[in-house]
Amino acid sequence: MTAPGSGRTLSGKCFCGTVQYAVPDEFSYALICHCSNCRRTTGSAFKPFAGIERGKLALTRGADQLLVYGTPDANDTHCRRCGSLLYSVVRAGSYVHVTLGTLVDDPGIRPTRHIFVGSKAPWFTITDDLPQFQEHAVTAAPPPA
Protein backbone atom coordinates (compact mmCIF):
# COMPACT_ATOMS: atom_id res chain seq x y z
CA MET A 1 0.00 0.00 0.00
CA THR A 2 1.23 3.45 -0.94
CA ALA A 3 0.19 6.62 0.85
CA PRO A 4 -2.89 8.26 -0.72
CA GLY A 5 -2.09 11.34 -2.76
CA SER A 6 1.30 9.94 -3.71
CA GLY A 7 0.95 11.24 -7.26
CA ARG A 8 0.65 7.73 -8.64
CA THR A 9 -1.80 6.81 -11.34
CA LEU A 10 -3.55 3.48 -10.86
CA SER A 11 -4.77 1.28 -13.66
CA GLY A 12 -7.84 -0.88 -13.68
CA LYS A 13 -9.68 -3.17 -16.05
CA CYS A 14 -12.55 -5.55 -16.46
CA PHE A 15 -12.16 -9.34 -16.40
CA CYS A 16 -11.67 -9.70 -20.16
CA GLY A 17 -9.52 -6.56 -20.55
CA THR A 18 -11.82 -4.93 -23.10
CA VAL A 19 -12.40 -1.89 -20.87
CA GLN A 20 -9.47 -0.27 -19.08
CA TYR A 21 -9.15 2.89 -17.04
CA ALA A 22 -6.67 5.11 -15.20
CA VAL A 23 -7.35 6.96 -11.96
CA PRO A 24 -5.07 8.96 -9.66
CA ASP A 25 -4.39 7.44 -6.25
CA GLU A 26 -6.43 10.25 -4.65
CA PHE A 27 -9.54 8.47 -3.42
CA SER A 28 -11.61 10.43 -0.87
CA TYR A 29 -13.02 7.39 0.92
CA ALA A 30 -13.31 3.61 0.71
CA LEU A 31 -16.24 1.58 2.03
CA ILE A 32 -17.74 -1.90 1.85
CA CYS A 33 -21.41 -1.84 0.83
CA HIS A 34 -23.79 -4.68 1.72
CA CYS A 35 -26.98 -3.25 0.16
CA SER A 36 -29.08 -5.52 -2.02
CA ASN A 37 -28.34 -3.49 -5.17
CA CYS A 38 -24.57 -3.81 -4.74
CA ARG A 39 -24.90 -7.50 -3.94
CA ARG A 40 -26.93 -8.11 -7.09
CA THR A 41 -24.75 -6.06 -9.43
CA THR A 42 -21.56 -7.77 -8.20
CA GLY A 43 -22.99 -11.25 -7.63
CA SER A 44 -21.22 -11.22 -4.27
CA ALA A 45 -21.90 -10.63 -0.58
CA PHE A 46 -20.73 -7.01 -0.78
CA LYS A 47 -19.06 -4.36 -2.95
CA PRO A 48 -15.76 -2.86 -1.79
CA PHE A 49 -15.28 0.51 -3.49
CA ALA A 50 -13.37 3.77 -3.35
CA GLY A 51 -14.87 7.17 -4.15
CA ILE A 52 -13.27 9.85 -6.29
CA GLU A 53 -14.43 12.84 -8.35
CA ARG A 54 -15.90 11.63 -11.63
CA GLY A 55 -13.63 13.75 -13.81
CA LYS A 56 -10.54 12.04 -12.41
CA LEU A 57 -11.39 8.62 -13.87
CA ALA A 58 -10.23 8.27 -17.47
CA LEU A 59 -11.22 5.40 -19.72
CA THR A 60 -8.09 4.35 -21.61
CA ARG A 61 -9.59 1.53 -23.65
CA GLY A 62 -13.04 0.29 -24.59
CA ALA A 63 -15.15 3.37 -23.89
CA ASP A 64 -17.48 2.17 -26.64
CA GLN A 65 -17.88 -1.18 -24.85
CA LEU A 66 -19.63 0.07 -21.72
CA LEU A 67 -22.99 -1.18 -20.56
CA VAL A 68 -24.67 1.39 -18.32
CA TYR A 69 -27.59 0.58 -16.02
CA GLY A 70 -29.28 3.77 -14.86
CA THR A 71 -29.05 7.41 -15.83
CA PRO A 72 -25.98 9.48 -16.72
CA ASP A 73 -25.92 10.87 -13.15
CA ALA A 74 -26.65 7.64 -11.23
CA ASN A 75 -25.62 4.31 -12.70
CA ASP A 76 -23.62 1.12 -12.58
CA THR A 77 -21.11 0.89 -15.43
CA HIS A 78 -20.12 -2.56 -16.68
CA CYS A 79 -18.07 -4.02 -19.51
CA ARG A 80 -20.51 -4.96 -22.27
CA ARG A 81 -18.44 -8.05 -23.17
CA CYS A 82 -17.71 -9.76 -19.82
CA GLY A 83 -20.16 -7.97 -17.51
CA SER A 84 -17.62 -6.82 -14.92
CA LEU A 85 -18.84 -3.94 -12.76
CA LEU A 86 -16.16 -1.26 -13.14
CA TYR A 87 -17.66 1.68 -11.27
CA SER A 88 -20.87 3.35 -10.18
CA VAL A 89 -21.70 6.98 -10.89
CA VAL A 90 -23.11 8.57 -7.72
CA ARG A 91 -23.77 11.84 -5.91
CA ALA A 92 -25.72 13.43 -8.79
CA GLY A 93 -22.98 12.48 -11.25
CA SER A 94 -20.13 14.17 -9.40
CA TYR A 95 -18.36 11.04 -8.07
CA VAL A 96 -17.59 7.50 -9.13
CA HIS A 97 -17.32 4.52 -6.83
CA VAL A 98 -14.52 2.45 -8.35
CA THR A 99 -14.87 -1.24 -7.52
CA LEU A 100 -11.61 -2.11 -5.76
CA GLY A 101 -11.50 -5.56 -7.35
CA THR A 102 -11.01 -4.04 -10.81
CA LEU A 103 -7.85 -2.16 -9.84
CA VAL A 104 -4.64 -3.70 -11.18
CA ASP A 105 -2.50 -1.57 -8.87
CA ASP A 106 -2.65 -1.44 -5.07
CA PRO A 107 -4.38 1.78 -3.94
CA GLY A 108 -3.16 3.83 -1.01
CA ILE A 109 -6.55 3.57 0.71
CA ARG A 110 -8.33 0.76 2.50
CA PRO A 111 -12.04 0.46 3.35
CA THR A 112 -12.84 2.13 6.67
CA ARG A 113 -16.38 0.87 7.37
CA HIS A 114 -19.23 -1.39 6.30
CA ILE A 115 -22.44 0.28 5.14
CA PHE A 116 -25.99 -1.06 4.73
CA VAL A 117 -25.31 -4.01 7.01
CA GLY A 118 -29.03 -3.93 7.83
CA SER A 119 -29.61 -5.53 4.42
CA LYS A 120 -26.51 -7.72 4.18
CA ALA A 121 -26.78 -11.29 2.96
CA PRO A 122 -27.97 -13.42 5.90
CA TRP A 123 -25.49 -16.17 5.00
CA PHE A 124 -22.49 -13.81 5.26
CA THR A 125 -20.70 -12.98 8.51
CA ILE A 126 -18.55 -9.86 8.81
CA THR A 127 -15.36 -10.94 10.55
CA ASP A 128 -13.26 -7.76 10.69
CA ASP A 129 -13.35 -4.97 13.25
CA LEU A 130 -14.37 -2.12 10.93
CA PRO A 131 -17.34 -0.01 12.10
CA GLN A 132 -20.70 -1.24 10.79
CA PHE A 133 -23.58 1.03 9.80
CA GLN A 134 -27.16 -0.18 9.31
CA GLU A 135 -27.61 2.23 6.41
CA HIS A 136 -25.29 4.72 4.74
CA ALA A 137 -22.48 5.95 6.99
CA VAL A 138 -23.42 9.57 6.31
CA THR A 139 -27.06 9.21 7.36
CA ALA A 140 -27.03 6.49 10.01
CA ALA A 141 -25.35 5.77 13.30
CA PRO A 142 -23.44 2.56 13.91
CA PRO A 143 -25.43 -0.29 15.45
CA PRO A 144 -25.56 -0.39 19.25
CA ALA A 145 -22.74 -2.31 20.90
- Choice between 106 and 142, residue whose per-residue pLDDT is larger: 106
The total number of structural domains that make up the chain: 1
Range of the domain at 42: 9-119
Question: What DSSP assignment string belongs to 80-120?
Answer: TTT--EEEEEETTTTEEEEEGGGBSSPPS-----EE-GGGS
The string of pLDDT tens digits covering residues 50-95 is 999 999 999 999 999 999 999 999 999 999 999 999 999 999 999 9
Residue 34 is part of a domain; what is its CATH number?
A: 2.170.150.70
Residue 132 lies in a domain: no
Residue 129 lies in a domain: no
pTM above 0.85, yes or no: yes
Residue 85 lies in a domain: yes
Residue 73 lies in a domain: yes
